[in-house]
Structure 1
Amino acid sequence: MPFADELLGPDAVSGLARCLTLGGHRATATKKTSAVFDGMALKARSDLVRDALIADLPDAFDEFVAAVNTLIAQPECTGWMIWPITEAVAVRSTEAGTAKAFDTGLVLLRKLTPRLTAEFALRTMLVADVDRTLATALRWTTSKDEHVRRLASEGTRQYLPWARRVPALMQRPEATAPIIDALYRDPSDYVRRSVANHLNDLSRQHAAIVVDTAARWLAAPDANTPRLVRHGLRTLIKRGDPDALALLGFAAPAAITVTDVDIDPRVRIGDKLTLTAVVRNSGDEPVNVVIDYSVGFRKTNGTIVHKVFKLAAKSLAPREQIAISKSHSFAPITTRRYHPGGHELALQVNGRRMALAKFDLHL
């Protein structure tokens, strides 16, 4: 993924300032922002440009709206410069304090979202008036524009990455059901991926709601529904949730055995660990299996915390066995710190841990 300065950097700010000038507006404060970008995270940069943009645009709300429309009218007003524009719209339309201004802000976000996305700014609207925003988002599900339909799902997710949390959505997990119900058979894969991620977000705390939703969708599917549901249930599958596994046809098979488990006993940080094993159906009936593996990472306090990784999904005939082979990299990454010492690795079949092996990670 690009660094922050490649997303919202001096070039994006220069482009935004040019669009402001072409629209007949000041760009004094906006131009100055890129000079202080060094060391700032992407969200902080967006907030800085947002505030500068508000300072450069008219104070009167109607004039502010007219100014934003002049920006939208310019084809070159696109890309990462859109994020601070959407944030400025959300701030101004919620601070105006009227229903008309609020609805106008939502209209502007709908217009802006095809240029990048307005999902982050929509959070401000949700915090200010969740019911009014959700009602509008539900209407967006019938838009001809896939970007607008995706905004309805993506902007209302519980755990949208990079975005602020919306307490009302956390307290009312069923509130977005009409939105994703309207979109799970959307013709756009772009929209359906958002719906699957929306469902997966809900599964963190509300497994029963998610399984019930997925079952309802599978009862009235289109050709893409099974794949969407599998993606939406991925966290529950990794957790070994029995209802989610059963819904996808992965019951707890008594006749499955895991043998010949072999892993490297010592792995250096920066190298790869190699796993091999044999999974066998020793029963008289075919079974569907989803095979995952989990790595028990050692924490600073010496405790072991497992993280599950996907491996394979198979249908095994009676007496059939398959050989499993997997390499897991311990190359340094920004999202995980490795601690030398004892670690674990386990194979998991249909949510049930079937084998556990130990290894040492060292410098």
Structure 2
Amino acid sequence: MADFKDELSPELIRALGQDLSVAWAAFDRAGFERTAGENLVGLEMKARIQQIAHALCASMPADLDVADEVIRRVLAGGGMQGWASLPVNEYVAVAMLGRPDIGLPLLAALTPRYTAEFAIRHFIEAQYEPTMERLRAWVADPDEHVRRLVSEGTRPRLPWGQRLTRFIADPRPALELLEELVNDESLYVRRSVANHLNDIAKDHPDVVLEAARRWAAKSTRGDYVVRHGLRTLIKRGDPEALSILGFDPEAPIEITGLECSHPSIPIGGETTIAFTLRAAAETKATIDYVVHYQGAHGPKAGKVFKLSVRDLPAGEAVSFVRRHRFAPVATRRIHPGPHLIEVQVNGRVLGKAVVDVYAPAATDPQEH
């Protein structure tokens, strides 16, 4: 599978140079392609974006109003699609940071090509008041991509994006924007609002719970936003978040027969977790399991995995089975040692089991 960084390729640079040279006859296409493509293969994605943007800074018109016109000509001709828009966004964020009057509308024109959610964060940091004024206007923009930019661009902890410390400290200005988007007709926009709400929950759970209560009671399309926006709090077993979504943290539910098919496995192996739940009365249940991975210096905090959301009938046994592989992934190493597994229902741990994970080179204990 190709790496994302390889999308920012020499071919993309040549196509971008071609489009710009057509839009502006004085564009130094050769110089741009040379600077943008220098040692490209050795650069990661962010560095490639920055290098291409730096080449644009050196090659585009010094008059920013003219530069704005050049980019808009390319857009009108169908250029700067997909990945090609990302270094252009970065160029706008660097070259036009002092001109939010042209830089922000240009990002709104660019964001439907892919997304300007990373570039606009520079304007939020350096040009807060004019940017917020523009964002407040964009919540009613006819283009769903621009409305999504309002939510995604202000997320305090956007993956791969710079953190917005002002909104980590005080999310209320951004939350005011979300209030206008929670009932947006576009699921694309509402999904962003939910992710933004989940970001806020990591620092200000009380703020999120208050908003979620209000949206759940009054919004017309906010059920999706509330459900997905509370997911971190649900995984933590927050009783108020569970109650908002209709889960009773105190519901009498018992677990029986909890076992792992292979209580001792090598790194990379898998075990099957099986158990039965029985509720005393009909109960809506969110069922997770939690794995406490071994770290280099002992067990880590639990990693929650979603298993099911079910209506448990009164007095009836309901069985659950889930395979779990202890294989390394990009964000997690697997260390040998005992790994505690907990079954969590409506935020409460009902049962525990332990799987011993050992290095593949070790003798398999099951052979003895």
Q: Tell me which interval the TM-score lies in, with the shorter structure as reference length.
A: over 0.9
- 1:19-38 equivalences under 5 Å are 19-23=19-23, 24=25, 25-32=27-34, 33-38=36-41
What stretches of structure 1 move > 6 A for 4+ residues in a row?
none
In the superposition, the TM-score normalised over structure 2's length comes to 0.92
Counterpart of 1:76, as a letter, is: G
Counterpart of 1:274, as a letter, is: T
Distance 1:322 1:39 in 2: 54
Q: Which of residues 156, 159, 175 in structure 2 aligns to 1:158?
A: 156
Contact 1:260/1:278 (8 A) holds in 2: yes
Report SS of the residue matched to 2:79: coil
Note if 1:305 corresponds to 2:308. no
Q: Which runs of 5+ in 1 are unaligned?
A: none
Note if 1:85 corresponds to 2:83. no
Counterpart of 1:160, as a letter, is: L
- 1:91-106 equivalences under 5 Å are 91-94=94-97, 96=98, 101-106=99-104
- 1:41-80 equivalences under 5 Å are 41-80=44-83
Contact 2:20/2:71 (8 A) holds in 1: no
Note if 1:320 corresponds to 2:316. yes
Equivalent residue, structure 2, for 1:347: 343
Note if 1:256 corresponds to 2:258. no
CA 39–201 in structure 1, closer or farther in 2 if over 3 Å, else same = same
Q: CA RMSD in A?
A: 1.5
Shift in Å, 1:292: 0.4
Equivalent residue, structure 2, for 1:291: 287
Report SS of the residue matched to 2:68: helix
1:282-324 CA-partner distances (Å, limit 9, x unpaired):
x2x3221111001110001123321001011112222122101
**Most deviating of 85-94 and 190-199:** 85-94
Distance 2:244 2:267 in 1: 39
Counterpart of 2:114, as a letter, is: L
Note if 1:246 corresponds to 2:243. yes
Distance 1:46 1:273 in 2: 42
Distance 1:354 1:159 in 2: 32
Counterpart of 2:278, as a letter, is: R
Shift in Å, 1:235: 0.6
Distance 2:265 2:38 in 1: 45
Equivalent residue, structure 2, for 1:148: 146
Shift in Å, 1:2: 4.7
Counterpart of 2:159, as a letter, is: P
Equivalent residue, structure 2, for 1:332: 328
1:244-303 CA-partner distances (Å, limit 9, x unpaired):
00111112234111111001211222222210001111x2x3221111001110001123
Contact 2:190/2:224 (8 A) holds in 1: no
Report SS of the residue matched to 1:177: helix
In the superposition, the TM-score normalised over structure 1's length comes to 0.94
Report SS of the residue matched to 1:159: coil
Contact 1:4/1:41 (8 A) holds in 2: no
Distance 2:237 2:160 in 1: 28
1:194-241 CA-partner distances (Å, limit 9, x unpaired):
11101111111111111111111111122x422221111111100111
Equivalent residue, structure 1, for 2:12: 12
**Most deviating of 176-185 and 25-34:** 25-34
Contact 2:194/2:226 (8 A) holds in 1: yes
**Most deviating of 287-296 and 7-16:** 7-16
Equivalent residue, structure 1, for 2:110: 112
Distance 1:193 1:43 in 2: 25
Contact 1:271/1:331 (8 A) holds in 2: yes
Q: Which of residues 204, 215, 225 in structure 2 aligns to 1:228?
A: 225
Distance 2:351 2:275 in 1: 9
1:40-77 CA-partner distances (Å, limit 9, x unpaired):
22111101111011111022222222222233222032
Counterpart of 1:41, as a letter, is: E
Report SS of the residue matched to 1:324: strand
Aligned residues: 355
